[in-house]
A and B are shown apart, each in its own frame.
Chain A
């Protein structure tokens, strides 16, 4: 380990230096505060310095070291005059990790150095695992983004809004046209965030796109998606999802809802004219042999908007800990306001409800504007 040692008293400097060398450490020295700050560029593993260094005091050096983002966890030991009350106050304010009272005892020096290096190792390990986690999140985000980028075309009557609870939104919203020009839509909310969600999203989107393009109906596709997730996901991980099929002429809607909040159909007067509750288990839980792929049909005569969302929207909490709730969503949809478009109305209401707080679960909102 590289130890930076700064001590004005030459005899004591020599004594500690020899001790550290005998312990197998690499030692560099400084005789004042300027020397300490300059030697920080060599990135020592530990700094041991006199509290009362000339030029810049040990306290002040410590404060500056701890202020630097790269050195925040670097162990700093101050060599303190004994029985000095004002020194104690300054010690506790400067952020040093430990102290050794002078005159120094070689045993105390040895023990404290070992302790602090162990602590430093712990910080390093924490830092490494933190960086690994960050890398995984970036990978997951990349996977998720490339899935949604495979969206072949923009459907102009479709609005989607996602607000993430963490680094990225783990809700999956994908859509694709069938050869007969029907529109298939899928909104999925995976348990957990990050990599776990992205891993599930890959097979789901593969199956969704391939089977839709090959003219399969939603009952077949959803059964296949459940089969795949049941195979690959561990118990306790699943995907709450809704699958919708909108006819090419926008007159009929077929829905499979497993675990998402009710899907709402609003008419031209913004009245809720239809509702599709979840009537299935989420995907990845049912044994494929027991899986129920039955859908519900809706006639879209007089319907202007179809609203679907993840439970993150329903459960979005304001600063008082109140949830947005299904009732409030229904009220916002029905409210006659200046803002005519239902999508914008819901989005702005959720945002003002959150009062700038980050939601604790991913929020997804999709609105199909019929006509």
Chain B
């Protein structure tokens, strides 16, 4: 099954004052590993950014590798003394966060 291309992850980063928002859309899985890392890496280094928000409104699918990437991001954000929020989860993302009980690890809104 080759659905990867049409279903890959797109990431738009929008920074407003001290907050950088990563808008994800499409399928968030291991294949998006590099793009996701590249997208947050610069924001972590940026000293004017105090808060990182990952927006899941347009995420159609995410797997356990994606949840794992969020845990890694969480570690990096803590080390950089910034805040992290997972925002507006789509129905699919919300259910995945529920099942993994990610509300115990992340601020989700």
Contact = CB atoms under 8 A, between A and B. Distances in A.
Interface stretch (B16-24, B45-53, B65-73): B65-73
Contacts of A240: 64, 99-100
Contact of A278 (B64, B67, B68, B101): B101
A219 B50 CA distance: 40
A191 B7 contact: no
Nearest to A237: B68
B101 A259 contact: yes
B3 interface: yes
Nearest to B76: A235
Output the residue of B64, B65, B71, B104 with the most chain A CB within 10 A.
B64
A238 interface: yes
A278 B75 CA distance: 24
Nearest to B101: A281
B71 A280 contact: no
Contacts of B65: 191-192
Contact of B30 (A189, A192, A235, A282): A192
B99 A235 contact: no
Specify the main secondary structure of chain A where it touches its partner.
Answer: loop
A279 B68 contact: no
B7 A321 contact: yes
Candidate in A236, A260, A317, A361 with the most chain B CB atoms within 10 angstroms: A236
B71 A285 contact: yes
Interface in B59-109: 61, 63-65, 67-69, 71-72, 75, 96, 98-102, 104-105
A358 interface: yes
A77 B72 CA distance: 48
A357 B1 contact: yes
A236 B98 CA distance: 17
A235 B65 CA distance: 11
A236 B100 contact: no
A159 interface: no
Contact of B100 (A237, A278, A315, A361): A278
A278 B30 contact: no
Q: Which bracket fits the contact residues of B? A: 20 to 34
A277 B72 CA distance: 25
B64 A285 contact: no
Contacts of A260: 99
- SS class of chain B's interface: helix, strand, loop or mixed? helix
Contacts of B68: 191-192, 235-238
Contacts of A311: 63-64, 96, 99
Query: Which of B67, B72, B98, B99 has the most chain A CB atoms inside 10 A of its CB?
Result: B99
Contact of A281 (B1, B61, B64, B104): B104
Contact of B71 (A192, A236, A277): A236
Interface string A299-337: 000000000000100010100010100000000000000
A238 B101 contact: no
A258 interface: yes
Contact of B99 (A259, A285, A323): A259
A332 B99 CA distance: 21
A259 B100 contact: yes
Interface string B1-19: 1010001000000000000
Contacts of B69: 236
Nearest to B71: A236
B98 A321 contact: no
A361 B27 CA distance: 14
Nearest to A279: B101
A189 B64 CA distance: 9
Interface of B: 1, 3, 7, 30, 61, 63-65, 67-69, 71-72, 75, 96, 98-102, 104-105
Interface of A: 189, 191-192, 235-238, 240, 258-261, 277-282, 285, 311, 315, 317, 321, 323, 357-358, 360-361
21 contacts: A189-B64, A191-B64, A192-B68, A235-B71, A235-B72, A238-B64, A238-B67, A240-B64, A259-B101, A277-B99, A278-B98, A278-B99, A278-B101, A280-B101, A282-B100, A282-B101, A311-B64, A311-B99, A315-B61, A323-B61, A358-B1
9 closest Cβ pairs, A-B complex: A236-B68, A236-B72, A191-B64, A278-B99, A191-B68, A236-B71, A281-B101, A259-B100, A357-B1
Given A191-B65, A278-B100, A361-B63, 8 more contacts: A191-B67, A192-B30, A278-B98, A278-B99, A281-B102, A281-B104, A311-B99, A323-B61
